[in-house]
Each structure stands twice: as C-alpha cells, then as structure tokens.
C-alpha cells in the first residue's frame, strides 16, 4: 500500500531557529496538505497545496510558515522562527481527486519540540 | 459544514462488534461522511466514506439512515489493535475535492479490553 513518508520522525530545535519538515507524498497524488496536532488536542488544518501553489491556509499558517515542492517528489513545511507553541506533531497528507471515496493519506508525522 | 457529535469514549471486549454513532443534525444535501482512525503518535488513517445507506469495505461498515442526521461506524469482531481514536467528519461534495480541509473534532476514544 502506498505511503506518505515524513522525515525526520522527531526534531528538537531551539526557539527562534528555522526548521524544515519534509514529506514525500504518494507519487500520483495531486493535492498535498500539512496538519498539526498539539499534544492532547485536535488535529488542525494548516495548508493545502495544488499545482505548485497554496490552495487554502488556516489562521495558524502565518508569515512564519511556508511550504514548497522543490522537486517532483518532496513537499516541505518551513517554520522560519520557531516558538514554544509550535511544539506539536506535524502531519503531511496527500490525496488524489480522481479517487473520491478513498480519503486522504496521512504520514506518520514529525514530532517537533521547541525548547 | 455540519457539526458532528460523537461519544467521548467507548470500551468493548475483544471479539465484539463495535458501533460508534455520530450525530450530524445539520448535514446538508451536498455533504458526505468520512471516518478516520488515529493511533497514538500516528497520523489519521482513512477508514470509510459514504453519502447514504450502507457502505462496506474490508475493515468496516458505515450505516447512514435515510434522514442522514447520523451515521454509525461498525467494526466487526474487534481486536486489541483496534484501540484508537475514531473521528467522524462531514465534507462538502461540491467543494473542489482535494482542495478541502478536513475538520477534526475530538473523536471517540475506543478501548478494547482483552
């Protein structure tokens, strides 16, 4: 079964540092997403990406966040200057609009800890 | 999108059939229902999706009554590995599918007892 792969699985960073979270979506999927989940809280939408541009973003996705698809396989989330409250699990997901009824495929996540 | 309401938690014994009901009283004509499963420290995993009546796949069944104001996820003969949080979501079919954010609630924490 195809998977969404995320690296690293864990990242610890100092407040104010930049981090890049990486994802390899399923190869024939066209839509890509980032979600996050703060410990003990709901899974929250951050951003969706299609055709090399952002389709939609949430209020959480402010100027400190950016996404990029630098090549044909990777999809990255960058946080420019991390804050303590950015500590969370970050999940990448992808979907194929031609397969309605199969949902979105999520990766296993990157646990980001900001100290 | 319609608000969803699910039980916060449920317990069941191994080998039992588990039914988790989700209420979505304000569901619109264009809305569909999706269920996801999440294990600790993992991403949500798609289980099943439907619009009306009954949908079945290799892992679950989804029952949606005629008024569509609720839906029931049915897990046959659960095992310990089915212990997880289960989310019911409502989505809009008329949105550009694939460009629609998923809105997760708090879900139902299902615990399977040996």
> Domain spans of chain B?
9-113
What's the pLDDT score for residue B95? 65
Per-residue CA distances from B97 to A32, A74, A98, B10 (Å): 12, 22, 9, 32
Q: Please state whether beta strands B61-64 and B9-13 pair in parallel, antiparallel, or not at all (unpaired).
A: unpaired
CB contact under 8 A, A43 and B38: yes
What kind of architecture, by CATH, is found in domain B9-113?
Sandwich (2.60)
Partner residue facing A105 (CB), from B46, B103, B106: B46
Partner residue facing B101 (CB), from A4, A45, A111: A45
DSSP code of A82? Answer: -
Q: State the Cα angle at A112 between A45 and A41, rounded to 5°.
A: 45
Q: Which domains does chain A have, with CATH numbers?
A: 5-107 (2.60.40.10)
CB contact under 8 A, B98 and A50: yes
CA distance A56 to A40: 25
Is 80 exceeded by the pLDDT of residue A60? yes
> Contact, A77 vs A34, CB < 8 A?
yes
User: Could you give the percent of chain A with pLDDT greater than 90?
Assistant: 80
Q: With contacts defined as CB-CB under 8 Å, which chain B residues touch A38? A: none
Given pLDDT bands bounded at 50, 70 and 90, which one contains residue A98?
confident
Q: Residues in chain B with pLDDT < 70?
A: 1, 93-99
């Amino acid at each position: 079964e195809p998977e969404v792969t995320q690296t690293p699985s864990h990242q610890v960073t100092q407040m104010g540092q930049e981090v890049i979270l990486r994802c390899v979506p399923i190869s024939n999927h066209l839509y890509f997403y980032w979600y996050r989940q703060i410990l003990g809280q709901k899974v929250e939408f951050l951003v969706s990406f299609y055709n090399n541009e952002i389709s939609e973003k949430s209020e959480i996705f402010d100027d400190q966040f950016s996404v990029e698809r630098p090549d044909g396989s990777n999809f990255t989330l960058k946080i420019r200057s991390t804050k303590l409250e950015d500590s969370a699990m970050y999940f990448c997901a992808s979907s194929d609009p031609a397969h309605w009824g199969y949902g979105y495929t999520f990766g296993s996540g990157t646990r980001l800890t900001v100290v | 999108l319609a608000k969803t309401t699910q039980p916060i938690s449920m317990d069941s014994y191994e080998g039992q059939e588990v039914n988790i009901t989700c209420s979505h009283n304000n569901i619109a004509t264009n809305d569909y229902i999706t269920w996801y499963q999440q294990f600790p420290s993992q991403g949500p995993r798609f289980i099943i999706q439907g619009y009306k009546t009954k949908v079945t796949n290799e892992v679950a069944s989804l029952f949606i009554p005629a008024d569509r104001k609720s839906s029931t996820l049915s897990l046959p003969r659960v095992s310990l590995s089915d212990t997880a949080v289960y989310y019911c979501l409502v989505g809009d079919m008329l949105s550009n599918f694939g460009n629609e954010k998923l809105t997760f609630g708090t879900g139902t924490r299902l615990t399977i007892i040996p």
